[in-house]
Structure 1
Amino acid sequence: MTTAAGRPIVGRETETRLLRQRLEAVGDGPVVTGLVGEPGAGKTALLDDIAAVARSRGFAVLVARGSAAEANLPFASLHQLLRPLMHKVDQLPGLQGRALRAAFGMGEADDVTPLFVSLATLELLVDHAVAAPVLVCLDDLDQMDRPSVDALGFVVRRLQGERVAVVCTSRPPVTELGDRSTDAWVALDGLDVEASTELLRSRSTRLSPALEQRVVREAGGSPLALIEFATALETGRQTWTDLDSDLPMTTRLETAFAVRAGELDHAGRAIVDVAAVDDGSSIGDVLAAATIVHGAEVGAESLAAPQALRLLTISGDRCLIASPLIGSALRQTMSASRRRQAHAALAEVLAADRDRAMWHRAAAVDGRDEEVAADLERAAADARRRGAVATAAAWLDRAAALSPDPAARASRLLGSAELAFELGRFDQVEEVKARVAGTELSVRDRSRLTWLEGAFHDGSSSEPTEVSRLVGLARRATADHDVDLALQLLFGAARRVWWRDPGHEVRGEIVRAVREVPVPPGDPRILAAMGLAESFDLSPTVIVQLGQWPSDAGGRPELAGLLGIAAFCVGEFERADTFLTLGIQELRAQGRLSLLAEALAIRSWTEVNLGIFEPARSAEEAVRLGDETGQAVWAATARVAVAVADGVAGRWDPRHALLAEAEHTAVRTPNASSSLLAGVQQARGVGELGADRPEQAYGELRRIFVADDPAFQRVQQLWSVGYLADAAVRTGRRDDARELLEASVRLAGPTPASGHAIALEYAAAVLADDASAEAAFADALVGAARSYPWHRARLQLAQGSWLRRQRRAVESREPLRVARGTFAALGAATWAARADQELRAAGEPGWHPEADPREDLSAQEAQIAELAAQGLSNREIGQRLFLSHRTVGSHLYRIFPKLGITSRSQLAGALARD
């Protein structure tokens, strides 16, 4: 039997043993152990027990407790947890330290970004764990504010291998902290009859056998219910016999708590009423608010009675209700006017704490109040600037509830929904849409609602009528001089075209509406919308305008992402890579992880089209962040890019798990199915070519060109036509491929973008007849592909193979030899092997390439090694990759022996390739 606070924890031996085992194995296995159960199941008792055990074993123990009163106060729970470590904030990197102080109201609000708050938390915890292992105790996780939970979730996903363990509690349903790889949840069921009887007898010895059986039965295995029944019956505060009729357990318990609170004098009752509506305030604040409620001075001596009745506990300088169930019971038995009085008193006392004061002021309102609603709206804007998006959404929702005017109410609800979209909360957006459906909306708010209907997955529908409706709303916004809304709607419409083409007429309609918006033609929003909507017809115009922008986006990195999207869509991949890289740097600095995942996913396909197949550069991180931020489409996009890299590197599997996941996403989000499925087919085609299965490769790639195939996608035909030509030559399908090439040439127009020219020139050379092939290869080698090793090597392999088939073996060896070396340097093992086979057939002895030590590195290890080789410190690498500096150090410790080196200074040489 185990103990907590000197009393036995009856019936929880299995759970106690598990928690102690997890404590002993800190640094291995799951980081989070969660206890989920109904109120009164004994979760807090187990948490207190393991905290006591941890302290006895030399752990540093950090504790935070969620409460309904602080659930909408940004970073309130995180502040509780980190309060003992705040003296170490000065040791953090500048951005992280400033962000953490601002999050806790100790610095300028403009400095807050959620990413840097999360990184600061991670650094504080892992640094604290150097001297002693750390146990983080999070009680009532489901009651904690969302920004704190998000930050802690970010942290636990990066604690693998660190000496930090986390134990948390939650009511059902489970409030996950990390994910399936980090969390292990244990359900606390009710105690069995034997354990219930033992617990009851430990608290009361005067019950008759019949009454004892009734109590055990009525408690339903709830430890708290057993203890409270025993206390009430033992003290005689509640008369209950075995003849009484059944009552719901919660009602009975609430009655018991209410009876106990009724024994307090007026000052004591004022204290528990104030504490119940703001659980966790300082003792001084509670006494000051109680004084206002009571109408006379309430001193510290009045705390004794609520403590004696076990309604209140004191923890340090904080005044806490003894359990969530007691708090719930006290609030339910208070009259509405008493609750408003307590909230109003707290709003007055907490005036220096803007967030908490504002929330209490809103809770003190009786009915609707525009003045308070407007203040809440301003507070929401402030919270949004500080990175507390979830809090801002909640406050806008509350502001809507207090709004007397239905139109203002709807506008605030839509604002809440727009923030929920940023958070990826589909259900919340759907709920708001349903609530405003019957409201008379302004034209602007009607447009906002329409945009929300297609916000998730880049549009709920690409049906021509739906896209045209968006365009119509954008035109109205233009007429009303609301340029930002007009461009937002048009960008949304154009994105739907990218994912699934609604036809030439609708694409033209978008372009005409874009040109009507009174902004300069080089505006990045205009270029991005045009590129998405009409990648071919408008590519010359977009390319010219992109050429007016310098590589640093004119010193405005916030615009670089849109410029990168525009360049990517029209096929200017090198320029797209430059702009996207600049945008990614800015997004990292701002901590905007959702947009960062999108930018990385797009850049991963820019790299694929440039012939850069290093998943660690963009794709792997895009998958991780896409999953972490709930952006399934972008995560799937990056997964396909990883699969392409695997196909090039010789790690191809026709049943590639990443492609299966991407296809599953396409099925669940049909609006994105066309583009995603086209990417899947391209990945399969490249993989089958690398595996020397040209028949299968042709079948996979051909689907992208079939108009009624789900994988049909106009732009991606240009990306894959070169690979299709390869497969066609080797399977005797030249005539079919030539027809597809001619169609692709017409699509690209007379002045194709550089990226498209690479594919078209390659396909033209490969598919040329013997009379014109030599000239076609010569032109292609000095054409668009000349600066790109992957594409040039493919041309040289194709040229050498053609020369050998023409019985010009000696001439074939030089291009084949160069191609083989380039493929080997790029890590394209199977392609290098194919070039080697051609060389053998041309009469040159085979070779035995040296193994590349980087092949033993994981994608994240390769990324860390590259950054360390560039001279970045562990802290700088950690901030770049959202890891702790100690995690970076652990990775480097494993990287050195894999590369056969012993020091950081040797990294650059080990990673260098011929």
Structure 2
Amino acid sequence: MTLTRLFGREGVLHELQRYLDEVDSRGVSIGLTGEPGVGKSALQARIATYAETAGFTVLRARGIQSESQLPYAVLHQVLAPILPRVSGMPAPQRQSLLAGFGLVEAPEVNPFFTSLAVLDLLVEAAAEIPVLVCLDDLQWMDRASVDTLAFVARRIAAERVILLSTSRSESQLLGDDRTTTWTRVAGLAAEDSQALLRYHAPDLTSAHRDRIVAQSGGNPLALLEFASTPDTGTDEELPMTARLERAFTARADELDPVGRAVVDVAALDDGDELEPVLAAAAIVAGTAVDRDAVWRVLEFGLLTQSGSEYAIAHPLIGSALRRAMTPDRRRQVHAALATILSGVPDRAVWHRAGSVSGRDEAVAAELEEAAAEAQRRGAFATALARLERAAALSPDPLDEAGRLISAAELGYELGGFAQVEQVTSRVARTTLRPRDRSRLTRLTGVFHDGATSEPTEIRHLVQLARRASGDGDADLAMQLLFGAARRVWWRDPGDLVRRDIVSATHDVSVPSGDPRVLAVLGLADSLELNGAVIEQLDRTPPDDGGRADVAALLGIAAFCGGDFLRADSLLSTAVNDLRADGRLSLLAEALAIRSWAEINLGVFDVARSADEGIRLADETGQRVWAGTARIAAAFIGAVGGHWSAPPALLLQAEQIALQLPNASSSLLAGAQLARGIGELAADRPSQAYAELHRVFVPTDSAYQRVQQAWTISYLAEAATRSGVRDEATGVVDSVVARAKGSPAIGTTIALEYCRAVLADDAVADELFGKALSGAARPFPWHQARLQLAYGSWLRRRRRVTESRDPLRAARTAFDALGAKPWAARADQELRATGERGWHPTSSGREQLSPQEAQIAELAAQGLSNREIGQRLFLSHRTVGSHLYRLFPKLGVTSRQQLAAVLTDRLKDVQSSD
């Protein structure tokens, strides 16, 4: 095979070849950017040839602008050569993938199962020989395919898979720069441009060559195209791309009417089969068109043909042809394609939309139905595009606005911040149906998850909810009230607003135990209504027969009320169900909230919830939940003694909070709690008190009423160690007054601790006794903190012998929990009593990354690599690689030994109680 000579590209080729040569040690996603015609595709083709020679499986797909609304079109191109492997795949993934391609029927398609299926297919193929996936013109690829490929790109670091993309500009479609590395392909240097012209156009005069080099800016396509056109000296003032398009248009103008009909149809076609193009061209030209008519077009270099398939020779040719068409010609071509493709409804309706000259309700309704079908197939981005087009064709402005709002709601599901903001601002000042106005209001600021908490805005939501309730639309009313309540959580708007939400919620015609009602009440007024919410939770089934959304809502209600044990249980149910359903956006939220339920129970394992919550929230574009999980991870790190300065995780979360329209007091309160724990761990109690006290100051941006109940015991600890007990006592009294005798376990533990450590000597002994036998007893962290405080109090009162038992128990528990600074403090107290000889324990588990720890836990439960991969949305081979690396860290040689190693610490904790 003769390879086209490439000039001036040795450096880029060498770098790309290096990635291929290192594929056994790492998989990567890399990309080439640059202006049209600069040679990105030629470089990609050369690397594909190199890969084939090196024994790779090379999979290819090319984006075409006219196909960009066809769901999974690109993905089908990529996978066609290896699609027979799907037969060995687990049923949910196989069904979802094939249904996305329209090869089987399914009630709905889960896009994350589709993504996992694609990952498994590529990884299975790469287990035999490495895989190179070439994605040409990424910017024109359908979004459903690109979203799936982005999922893959984030998970191939341990696989023998390389994604090589081209795009006109650096793109984040395949993830940020941590996922995809982009290389800018510039124009050729002057000497390389001259060499290319001498090679391809040796008859040019030196002066003509110099003019072409100067006009082309080193663009290879421009060099060759200008070399083949007469040297008129005109067009020099036009941008190079415009000059190229003009040259291509001039070439097309030389075709006869039949040939021109063929290229015009091809420019607007959304497929690659030649027969439909010829049939539609016959309608446009008004005469029969056979394959002989194609030869003239091929000779002009406007199309390429391979068997029964064709392609536009270069994207700029398609762009030039589309620009050259009059509106009437465009409509004529679209109408012809709609007629020929009548048996393919998805494609036909899109062309029918392009064939109408004005607004058309019948076509708009068809597009709306097509959007629903695309959504059923998991192609949310395609559904969104069809809804937007349906809105543009709607004769009735009210229908137009309603369809735009539906598009915005889909944009929210996709994490499309810009798209939602664009739609909401576009329709905000138009006339809307009352229900659509409410839907729009719910979407306003939705990406800030309620951080825009101005009282007037929240009251407006409540008013709309009352109107929806009065109209009998209880579902919309509860959606609006839930949005209002979340805003209260993120920043308190005051008593009157909270009471207004509660009153409106009670007026909605739903049962009092409805999970939505409990979640709203928990978010809006969890201190004052805590007892009533917990009482109702006692009578409510945990998940309504396995519904993850119900378990999640009940978990939120329990969490906000401080019933962390119940919250952990409910959120765990939700996590398991959401994981099984592949609902990653909601899974990220549930994991982030559960990470804080665990922290408040004294469970400090970043691998259980926080780490995965960070990864999934980042992946699904949920900044608030990414920040929530980051603060949890920072808190856990601080408990373990990993604190010399605020960690990057915490700084990132604080930045997220401050970038929201109203700085989220909830996030900032969590950040202050993490900072306070870090200072306590570093034995700087005065600094800890200052950090924690901000949560209790009404004028501070970190003020948060409910989270004060979570923070108060650590404030009391800092106060006791820094000599400001009296000041802290006043703060505790204010929390007690607001809690109104809450039965929540979290609040009870915190207040029993505060009463004991801040008590006068005359009653401290009695209060320590009550606290040690009280709510904290089943929870090693909280019990150990009491034991440390009590033992220290006894030693300072010269009751040295009595102090040793609680101090020993605290030291053992802290050591088992990995709370090294607190274990060291307990040991210091014991040393002050004259006791020596203790050495902290170490665990191989501490050497594991959070993801390795999560995989080890699942493997210890007996799950196979494939089952673990399905749970964590990883390939089973990635799971195997993690296990291979973590075995030596834990000192084990088989899966059977994992359970014993991982349960040793738990046994130590339990034995210290």
Q: TM-score, length-normalised on structure 1?
A: 0.96
Q: What residue is the counterpart of 1:231 in the other structure?
A: 228
1:492 aligns with 2:489: no
The 3-state SS of whatever aligns with 1:721 is helix
- Of the three residues 588, 595, 612, the one matched with 1:597 is 588
1:611-626 paired onto structure 2 within 5 Å: 611-626=602-617
Give the Cα–Cα distance (whole angstroms) in 1 for the partners of residues 306 and 790 of structure 2: 79
Q: What residue is the counterpart of 1:353 in the other structure?
A: 344
- Checking the alignment, whether the CA contact within 8 Å between 1:457 and 1:671 is kept in structure 2 is no
1:121 aligns with 2:112: no
Q: What residue is the counterpart of 1:104 in the other structure?
A: 101
- Checking the alignment, whether the CA contact within 8 Å between 1:649 and 1:827 is kept in structure 2 is yes
- Checking the alignment, whether the CA contact within 8 Å between 2:478 and 2:505 is kept in structure 1 is yes
1:166-315 paired onto structure 2 within 5 Å: 166-233=163-230, 240-242=231-233, 246-278=237-269, 280-315=271-306
Q: Which whole-Å deviations, capped at 9, do the CAs of 1:125-160 have from their partners, x for residues lacking one?
A: 111011111111000001111111111111111100
Cα distance, 1:803 vs structure 2: 2.1
Cα distance, 1:232 vs structure 2: 2.9
Give the Cα–Cα distance (whole angstroms) in 2 for the partners of residues 803 and 244 of structure 1: 92
- Which letter maps to 2:467? R
1:439 aligns with 2:430: yes
1:59 aligns with 2:50: no
Q: What residue is the counterpart of 2:576 in the other structure?
A: 585
1:390-429 paired onto structure 2 within 5 Å: 390-429=381-420
- Which letter maps to 1:587? L
Give the Cα–Cα distance (whole angstroms) in 1 for the partners of residues 330 and 242 of structure 2: 20
Q: What residue is the counterpart of 1:26 in the other structure?
A: 23
1:142 aligns with 2:128: no
- Checking the alignment, whether the CA contact within 8 Å between 1:347 and 1:357 is kept in structure 2 is yes
Give the Cα–Cα distance (whole angstroms) in 2 for the partners of residues 353 and 28 of structure 1: 44
1:821 aligns with 2:818: no
Identify the range of structure 1 (842-851 vs 405-414) with the bigger mean alpha-carbon deviation.
Answer: 842-851
1:332 aligns with 2:323: yes
Q: What residue is the counterpart of 1:714 in the other structure?
A: 705
Give the Cα–Cα distance (whole angstroms) in 2 for the partners of residues 831 and 799 of structure 1: 14
- Checking the alignment, whether the CA contact within 8 Å between 1:27 and 1:165 is kept in structure 2 is no
The 3-state SS of whatever aligns with 2:432 is coil
Q: Which whole-Å deviations, capped at 9, do the CAs of 1:671-721 have from their partners, x for residues lacking one?
A: 352111111111111122122221211111111111111111111110011
Q: CA RMSD in A?
A: 1.8
Q: Which whole-Å deviations, capped at 9, do the CAs of 1:806-828 have from their partners, x for residues lacking one?
A: 32222222222222211111111
- Of the three residues 849, 856, 860, the one matched with 2:851 is 860
Cα distance, 1:646 vs structure 2: 0.8
- Checking the alignment, whether the CA contact within 8 Å between 1:561 and 1:580 is kept in structure 2 is yes
Q: What residue is the counterpart of 1:237 in the other structure?
A: none
1:645 aligns with 2:636: yes
1:17 aligns with 2:14: yes
The 3-state SS of whatever aligns with 1:714 is coil
1:560 aligns with 2:551: yes
Q: TM-score, length-normalised on structure 2?
A: 0.96
- Checking the alignment, whether the CA contact within 8 Å between 2:147 and 2:173 is kept in structure 1 is no
- Checking the alignment, whether the CA contact within 8 Å between 1:176 and 1:183 is kept in structure 2 is no
- Of the three residues 719, 725, 730, the one matched with 1:728 is 719
Give the Cα–Cα distance (whole angstroms) in 1 for the partners of residues 704 and 537 of structure 2: 24
Cα distance, 1:283 vs structure 2: 2.6
Q: Which whole-Å deviations, capped at 9, do the CAs of 1:581-602 have from their partners, x for residues lacking one?
A: 1111222222222221111111
Q: What residue is the counterpart of 2:893 in the other structure?
A: 902
- Checking the alignment, whether the CA contact within 8 Å between 2:27 and 2:158 is kept in structure 1 is no
- Of the three residues 489, 503, 513, the one matched with 1:512 is 503
- Checking the alignment, whether the CA contact within 8 Å between 2:592 and 2:610 is kept in structure 1 is yes
Cα distance, 1:382 vs structure 2: 2.1
Cα distance, 1:7 vs structure 2: 2.2
Cα distance, 1:460 vs structure 2: 5.3
Q: What residue is the counterpart of 1:163 in the other structure?
A: 160
Give the Cα–Cα distance (whole angstroms) in 2 for the partners of residues 315 and 127 of structure 1: 29
Cα distance, 1:266 vs structure 2: 4.0
Give the Cα–Cα distance (whole angstroms) in 1 for the partners of residues 319 and 233 of structure 2: 27
| Structure 1 residues 909 and 366: CA distance shift in structure 2, 3 A | same
Give the Cα–Cα distance (whole angstroms) in 1 for the partners of residues 773 and 407 of structure 2: 55
Give the Cα–Cα distance (whole angstroms) in 1 for the partners of residues 24 and 199 of structure 2: 38
Q: Unaligned regions of 5+ residues in structure 2, if any?
A: 908-913
Identify the range of structure 1 (876-885 vs 452-461) with the bigger mean alpha-carbon deviation.
Answer: 452-461
Q: What residue is the counterpart of 1:44 in the other structure?
A: 41
Cα distance, 1:361 vs structure 2: 2.0
- Which letter maps to 2:48? A
1:606 aligns with 2:603: no
Q: Which whole-Å deviations, capped at 9, do the CAs of 1:310-358 have from their partners, x for residues lacking one?
A: 1111245421111100111111222323322322333333334332222
Give the Cα–Cα distance (whole angstroms) in 2 for the partners of residues 685 and 725 of structure 1: 11
Cα distance, 1:552 vs structure 2: 4.0
- Checking the alignment, whether the CA contact within 8 Å between 2:212 and 2:226 is kept in structure 1 is yes
Give the Cα–Cα distance (whole angstroms) in 1 for the partners of residues 330 and 441 of structure 2: 39
Identity of aligned residues (%): 59
The 3-state SS of whatever aligns with 1:549 is coil
Identify the range of structure 1 (671-680 vs 61-70) with the bigger mean alpha-carbon deviation.
Answer: 671-680
Cα distance, 1:181 vs structure 2: 1.9
Give the Cα–Cα distance (whole angstroms) in 2 for the partners of residues 655 and 617 of structure 1: 22
Q: What residue is the counterpart of 2:90 in the other structure?
A: 93
Identify the range of structure 1 (296-305 vs 803-812) with the bigger mean alpha-carbon deviation.
Answer: 296-305
The 3-state SS of whatever aligns with 1:707 is coil
Give the Cα–Cα distance (whole angstroms) in 1 for the partners of residues 161 and 744 of structure 2: 52
Give the Cα–Cα distance (whole angstroms) in 2 for the partners of residues 27 and 511 of structure 1: 59
| Structure 1 residues 189 and 585: CA distance shift in structure 2, 3 A | same
Give the Cα–Cα distance (whole angstroms) in 2 for the partners of residues 28 and 269 of structure 1: 51
Cα distance, 1:639 vs structure 2: 0.7
- Of the three residues 482, 507, 517, the one matched with 1:526 is 517
Cα distance, 1:296 vs structure 2: 4.2
Q: What residue is the counterpart of 1:788 in the other structure?
A: 779
- Which letter maps to 1:160? A
1:385 aligns with 2:376: yes
- Checking the alignment, whether the CA contact within 8 Å between 1:141 and 1:169 is kept in structure 2 is yes
The 3-state SS of whatever aligns with 1:627 is helix
Cα distance, 1:261 vs structure 2: 2.5
The 3-state SS of whatever aligns with 1:540 is helix
- Of the three residues 542, 562, 565, the one matched with 1:551 is 542
- Checking the alignment, whether the CA contact within 8 Å between 1:864 and 1:892 is kept in structure 2 is yes
Q: What residue is the counterpart of 2:357 in the other structure?
A: 366
Q: Which whole-Å deviations, capped at 9, do the CAs of 1:614-659 have from their partners, x for residues lacking one?
A: 0100000111111112211111111110111111111122232111
The 3-state SS of whatever aligns with 1:711 is coil
| Structure 1 residues 290 and 581: CA distance shift in structure 2, 3 A | same
Q: What residue is the counterpart of 1:673 in the other structure?
A: 664
Identify the range of structure 1 (434-443 vs 641-650) with the bigger mean alpha-carbon deviation.
Answer: 434-443
Give the Cα–Cα distance (whole angstroms) in 2 for the partners of residues 766 and 75 of structure 1: 62
The 3-state SS of whatever aligns with 1:162 is coil
- Checking the alignment, whether the CA contact within 8 Å between 1:801 and 1:812 is kept in structure 2 is yes
Identify the range of structure 1 (575-584 vs 335-344) with the bigger mean alpha-carbon deviation.
Answer: 335-344
Cα distance, 1:611 vs structure 2: 0.5
- Checking the alignment, whether the CA contact within 8 Å between 1:31 and 1:183 is kept in structure 2 is yes
Q: What residue is the counterpart of 1:757 in the other structure?
A: 748
Cα distance, 1:742 vs structure 2: 1.1
Give the Cα–Cα distance (whole angstroms) in 2 for the partners of residues 42 and 878 of structure 1: 39
Q: What residue is the counterpart of 1:236 in the other structure?
A: none
- Checking the alignment, whether the CA contact within 8 Å between 2:627 and 2:667 is kept in structure 1 is yes
- Which letter maps to 2:874? L
- Of the three residues 123, 148, 151, the one matched with 2:148 is 151
